[in-house]
């Protein structure tokens, strides 16, 4: 199929783009990389009458570092982030997640903000934002506001961003201290396809190998990505073993509400996400354990 007819406007600055959104309301759509929007338009699932192209806006491509966070412009291409060693060394989960996003060609065009704004529950970057408790900056002609990832994702392809707002930047907290590790894993029919289920975690151990901090999330098994702070808090002060990793993963999986389709049923997805969450917990714990002074492997 082909997209329905539309007007195309390429503003030269962000203020003009916001004015266009205010003028056209829900008839307008922002486009940057177009990796999500263009296929939806081709299938007539999205039919904007005005496309506002923000891909070249320099205001959306900034990177800034502070002691506690990294702020990434929403217009940065995914490949730019993937190959930025300064970013990925401090936010390793982002680099790990991006390797699962589509293909290199996809990441060369797709933007950070585009993936977050479309809020596909199977997408890797929304899950990472939730696990790291990122904060999203939304700008309209009248104001700018910050929304946490937990409050931003409301449902499948449904967010807290209103029709006159543009996602301009994302603040990613950087965990401080030693013995921090992360892991990301997913299963898809083919490399680059939408994930049937995915899992991500980041943790920090103390010198004795006990959990100081832990964040665990799952994607593709609900209307939004999910995190489980009430469950991960139970492991604080304990050593993460294979047994309690499995127990935590299965409790978390039982709180998911996956759907069924031609590829897998809900029961299989529940089992799959438990396996994936166990896997990322073990991987991250092993990496963090190797950084401790004792160099002891994770207990079995």
Structure tokens at 290: 């190797």
CATH number, position 23: 3.30.43.10
Which pLDDT belongs to residue 262? 85
Phi, psi (degrees; rounded to nearest 5) at 232: -65, -30
pLDDT score at 39: 87
Q: State pLDDT tens for residues 60-107.
A: 999 999 989 999 999 999 999 999 999 999 999 999 999 999 999 999
Say if residue 295's pLDDT is above 60: no
The answer, yes or no, to whether residue 36 has pLDDT greater than 90, is: no
Is residue 295 classed exposed, middle or buried when 0-12, 13-18 and 19+ CB atoms within 10 A define those classes? exposed
Share of the chain above pLDDT 90, in %: 84
Same domain, 221 and 114: no
Spatial contact of 50 and 7, defined as CB atoms under 8 Å apart: yes
What is the domain range of residue 248?
Answer: 180-291
Residues 6 or more apart whose CB falls under 8 angstroms from that of 53 comprise 8, 9, 10, 11, 31, 32
Number of domains in the chain: 3
228 in the same domain as 166 = no
Answering whether pTM is above 0.85, one says: yes
Contact 200, 182 (CB under 8 A): yes
Shared domain check, 247 and 149: no
Segment 138-154 shows an average pLDDT of: 96
Answer whether residue 125 is part of any domain.
yes
- Mean pLDDT within 27-50: 89
Domain boundary among 145, 173, 201: 173
Q: What pLDDT score was predicted for residue 170? A: 98
**Same-domain check for residues 209 and 107:** no
Return the ∠ at Cα 34 (arms to 41 and 92), rounded to 5°.
Answer: 135
User: Which pLDDT score, from 0 to 100, does residue 290 have?
Assistant: 87
- The pair phi, psi for residue 69, each rounded to 5°, is -160, 165
Cα–Cα distance between 129 and 281 in angstroms, integer? Answer: 18
Q: How many CB atoms lie within 10 A of CB 275?
A: 16
> Does residue 148 share a domain with residue 71?
yes
The string of DSSP letters for 156-214 reads: TTEES--TT-EEEEEEEE---SSSEEEEEEEE-SSTTSPPSEEEEEEEEE-TTSBEEEE
**86 contacts 65 by C-beta, under 8 angstroms:** yes
């Amino acid at each position: 199929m082909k997209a329905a007819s539309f007007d195309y406007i390429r503003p030269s600055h962000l203020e003009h783009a916001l004015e266009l959104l205010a003028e056209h309301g829900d008839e307008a759509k922002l486009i940057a990389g177009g990796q999500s929007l263009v296929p939806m338009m081709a299938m007539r699932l999205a039919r904007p009458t005005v496309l506002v192209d923000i891909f070249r806006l320099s205001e959306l491509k900034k990177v800034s570092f502070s002691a506690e966070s990294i702020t990434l412009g929403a217009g940065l291409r995914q490949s730019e982030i993937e190959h930025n060693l300064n970013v990925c060394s401090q936010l390793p989960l982002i680099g790990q997640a991006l390797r699962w996003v589509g293909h290199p060609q996809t990441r060369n065009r797709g933007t950070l903000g585009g993936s977050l704004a479309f809020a596909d529950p199977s997408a890797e970057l929304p899950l990472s934002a939730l696990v790291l408790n990122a904060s999203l900056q939304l700008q309209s002609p009248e104001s700018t506001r910050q929304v946490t990832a937990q409050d931003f994702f409301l449902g499948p392809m449904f967010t807290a961003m209103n029709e006159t707002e543009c996602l301009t930047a994302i603040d990613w907290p950087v965990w401080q201290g030693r013995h921090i590790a992360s892991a990301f894993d997913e299963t898809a029919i083919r490399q680059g396809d939408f994930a049937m289920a995915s899992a991500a975690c980041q943790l920090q151990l103390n010198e004795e190998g006990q959990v100081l901090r832990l964040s665990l999330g799952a994607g593709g098994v609900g209307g939004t990505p999910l995190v489980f702070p009430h469950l991960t808090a139970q492991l604080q002060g304990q050593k993460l073993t294979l047994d309690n990793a499995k127990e935590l993963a299965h409790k978390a999986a039982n709180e998911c509400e996956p759907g069924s389709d031609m590829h897998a049923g809900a029961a299989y997805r529940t089992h799959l996400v438990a396996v994936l969450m166990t896997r990322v917990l073990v991987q991250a714990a092993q990496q963090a354990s190797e950084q401790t002074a004792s160099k002891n492997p994770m207990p079995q």
